[in-house]
Structure 1
Amino acid sequence: MQPLTGMRVLEFSLNIAGPQAGQILAMLGAEVVKVERPQGGDDCRAWGPPFARGSSMMFNTMNRGKKSIRLDLKDAEAVAWLKSQIGQYDVLIENMRPGAMEAIGLGAAAIRSAHPRLVYCSLSAFGARGPLRSKPGYEEVVQAFSGLFSVNGDESAPPARVGTSILDLGTGVWGALGCLAGLMERSRTGEGCLVEGSLLETALGWLTVPIATFAASGELPRRSRSGSAKVVVYRCFEASDGEIMIAGANDRLFAKLAKVLGHPEWAADERFRNAVGRSTHREMLNAKIDAIVRTATRAEWTARLEAAGVPCAPVNSLQDVLDHPQVDGLDIFDTVEDSSTRLVRLPLSFDGARPVAARPAPRLGDDDVDMRVPAGNTGQME
């Protein structure tokens, strides 16, 4: 199922957030044309090793299924030509440095005035309004600024980055969702719209619970290396051969966990029988559980806990999870052309069927041109 078949998307995007939004639309069937600099293209192409098909794996991850055209946006003739093409498109996605699109006449106000049916998606680091609207930024910069670092990592260690580019990827998902909503609205009214999103807004969205808790209590959140600083029992414990995550997160599950651990009386203990008590006595309770869990392997605990209906999981390496039959059963990977490298497809299915796998990422310079471009701006499309 490719519900966006027939839709055309013009993408002015670098790095991760904008390309992620474009790739989601491509995997749903849209034709996505990525505009890149003549020399080197998207910065992300060089962010390696490792590389495949001449570009970094990060680039391949974010840009499969697209076409690519080289165009010098500092060339007035090239920009004029590009403006003449925009009417052929349904969606425009950009995450350029704030103000860059406006400076060359491709900002949302100018383009939507000329093309009111266009859905224009603009993604930035700090948002379209406020005193930092013109401030550029990358994933780590916004994770630090937003407070996301402050709630991540071990309580005894400095604040830490979330290990994956959660803000870039999340902003790309929100951007794609906004584009889909804009296209639905256009089908009803005939009018396109402006979709705006930013890494900072995504971060604040992911911090909904810590922000609400802080607002209500006045207490800054405590970091927890695994699980939750508030919900108990809900963290990793060290078994004899490695860590296992155990989630006895409510009264019913805690009673089951206590029985598996050989202490069914804990479920009636005034200190532990409800969530408030377990949170108040968290250090004591977690220490008791730590001592018991160390006596057996992760596999042994997993078998016992799953038999009792207590959610749990070993702390896996990437190799562990990629080798697991559950992951194979999801059918979620593409293979990069000329490589055995696996890349995650759109993590979504329709009635049990996945969207058609995306094509490999475009090569900058592949010659499959179907648009005329000005002299000096050799268009290269895949």
Structure 2
Amino acid sequence: MTMPSAGALQGLKVIDVSRILGGPYCGQILGDHGADVLKVEPPQGDDTRTWGPPFLNGVASYYLGLNRNKRGMRLDLSQEAGRTTLLELLSDADVLLENFKTGTLEKWGIGYETLSERFPRLIHCRVSGFGADGPLGGLPGYDAAIQAMSGIMSVNGDAGAEPLRVGLPVVDMVTGLNAVIGILLALNERARSGKGQFVEAALYDSGLSLLHPHAANWFLNDKTPARTGNAHPNIYPYDSFPTRTSPIYLAVGNDRQFQLLCKVLGEPALAFEPEFQDAGSRSSNRLRLRDRLTALFQQFDGAALTEQLMNEGVPCAPILDVKSALEHPHTAHREMIVSMPNGYKGLGSPIKLGRTPATYRLPPPDTLDD
């Protein structure tokens, strides 16, 4: 466990009234880097407290993975007393982080326009499904539904198979990251102007932003992108391959890497055959290339081959399950697992700062009382 020290955001006060994933993930990142984050939950608690099993002391792993480095309290914002307390909390706060349905805070008399007049330096960040206006404005949005509607599912899965949800809440998490970026941008601007502003991170926008290179391809060729399984739509060999022992993933991005691959496989001349000698020809002739490479890979042990290829400068990797990835020695070296005395264990911050690294001071709130 990293020992407490001054974080990059020390002195920043955040009131986090968000729930589920995108907002809480944003708050956790701010907390990891030193912000004082107060998580305000409704009387029944954040829904994700019950999203299990597994549980630790009655609290679901889903909640635990998103809410460390926060103090906690319970507040009913639908009641005047709760709103009065929130206003007191905001009197010296820098950031309000929320993901209420559009119009809810306005109905309660604590919407952005009201709060900005009372607290002109406050940065009000809202995580929403579709934003406040437009054809879908104000509608609720969950990760999987946005994956479906933004086109992500349409390009995920095997060719000829049904569209497939990415097995991670990628839209929610990227929306949380975008909320962090927006808050930091607003803080930087406030240092010049002295004024806060409204920051919005919508799941729909974030889902669309993930469509690279599929959107870029469509802008140029007007062809609806199709599912390609594990293969990259633009370059090849960028795909999974079987070996004699275990599958590997190969990520060749240029001619030099392909030449090195062919040398390690014992077929250096393959790199210079006309149908495979450059990126465009390899992509156009990917089916023939896959057959040639698959035959060669059958001679090799997967683990030994990936190690040899990486040492030669060819990007590749063994295909690991979650347990193997978390137990990999490099995971420990990168300090990507956090443990605390109360039994909490979670993923560490991927954001590495030299002088002011992330610290892990508080486990997720195990009570709803401050």
TM-score by length of 2: 0.94
Alignment check: 8 A CA contact 1:27 1:346 kept: yes
Match of 1:350 among 329, 347, 353: 353
Moved more, 139-148 or 102-111: 102-111
The one of 8, 29, 35 equivalent to 2:40 is 35
For residues 33-76 of structure 1, the C-alpha deviation after alignment (integer angstroms, 9 at most, x for no partner) is 1111112x000111011111321111111111111121112212
Aligned to 1:2: 7
> What whole-Å deviation, never above 9, does each CA across 1:121-162 have from its counterpart, x for those lacking one?
011011233111111011100000000001111113211111
Match of 2:293 in 1: 289
Q: Does 1:19 align with 2:24?
A: yes
Q: CA deviation at 1:188?
A: 1.6
Shift, 1:352, TM fit = 7.0
- Tell me how far apart the structure 2 counterparts of residues 237 and 171 of structure 1 sit (CA, whole Å): 33
Structure 1 gaps of 5+ residues are 366-379
Alpha carbons 2:331, 2:337 under 8 Å: kept: no
Contact map agreement 1:53 1:338 (CA 8 A) in 2: no
Deviation at 1:337, TM superposition (A): 4.2
Residue among 208, 221, 242 paired with 2:246: 242
CA change 1:345–1:308 in 2 (3 A) is closer
The residue number in structure 2 matching 1:104 is 108
Distance 1:223 1:324, change over 3 A: same
Equivalent residue number for residue 215 of structure 2: 211
Structure 1 residues 303 and 68, CA gap change in structure 2 (3 angstroms): closer
Q: Distance in 1 between matches of 2:267 and 2:86?
A: 71
Q: Equivalent residues in 2 for 1:4-153 (5 A)?
A: 4-39=9-44, 41-153=45-157
Aligned equivalents of 1:169 and 1:18: distance in 2? 9
Deviations 1:171-191 (A, max 9, x none): 111111111121121122110
* Structure 1 residues 322 and 77, CA gap change in structure 2 (3 angstroms): closer
Contact 2:7 2:356 in 1 (8 A): no
Equivalent pairs, count: 365
CA contact (8 A) 2:13 2:93 kept: yes
Determine if the alignment matches structure 1 residue 359 to structure 2 residue 357: no
SS at match of 2:247: strand
Partners of 2:246 and 2:303 within 8 A in 1: no
Letter in 2 for 1:32: V
Work out which of the residue numbers 166, 178, 181 in structure 2 matches 1:177: 181
Cα gap change, 1:251 to 1:195, in 2 (>3 Å): same
Residues in 2 aligned to 1:309 and 1:212: alpha-carbon distance in whole angstroms: 28
- Post-superposition offset of 1:230: 2.0
**Alpha carbons 2:8, 2:357 under 8 Å: kept:** no
Q: Distance in 1 between matches of 2:100 and 2:334?
A: 35
Give 3-state SS (helix, strand or coil) of 2:220's partner: helix
CA contact (8 A) 1:53 1:337 kept: no
In the alignment, residue 33 of structure 1 is paired with which amino acid? L
- Say if 1:52 and 1:336, in contact at 8 Å, map to a contact too: no
Distance (Å, rounded) in 1 between the aligned partners of 2:205 and 2:57 = 34
Q: CA deviation at 1:335?
A: 1.5
What is the CA–CA distance in structure 2 between the aligned matches of 1:283 and 1:4, rounded to whole Å?
A: 51
SS in 1 for 2:364: coil
Aligned-pair RMSD on alpha carbons? 1.6
Q: Distance in 2 between matches of 1:282 and 1:317?
A: 27
Structure 2 Cα separation of the partners of residues 225 and 180 of structure 1: 37
- Contact 2:146-2:203 within 8 A present in 1 as well: yes
**Counterpart for residue 276 of structure 2:** 272
| Inter-CA distance 188–109: structure 2 relative to 1 (3 Å threshold) | same
The amino acid that maps onto 2:47 is D
Q: Supply the distance in 1 between the matched residues of 2:311 and 2:366 (Cα, whole angstroms).
A: 51
1:358 and 1:163, CA in 2 relative to 1: closer, same or farther beyond 3 A?
farther
Does residue 1:199 correspond to 2:235, yes or no? no
AA of the residue aligned to 2:328: H
* TM-fit CA distance, 1:353: 6.2
1:349 counterpart letter in structure 2: K
Q: Which residue of 2 aligns with 1:375?
A: none
Distance 1:358 1:165, change over 3 A: farther
Cα distance 1:336–1:145, how it changes in 2: closer, same or farther (>3 A)? farther
CA contact (8 A) 1:4 1:25 kept: yes
Q: Secondary structure at the match of 1:92?
A: strand
Q: 1:95 to 1:237 in 2, by over 3 A?
A: same
Contact 1:336 1:343 in 2 (8 A): no
Tell me whether 1:163 sits opposite 2:167 in the alignment.
yes
Cα distance, 1:327 vs. partner?
0.9
Supply the AA of the counterpart residue of 2:129.
A
Letter in 1 for 2:364: A
TM-score normalised by L of structure 1: 0.91
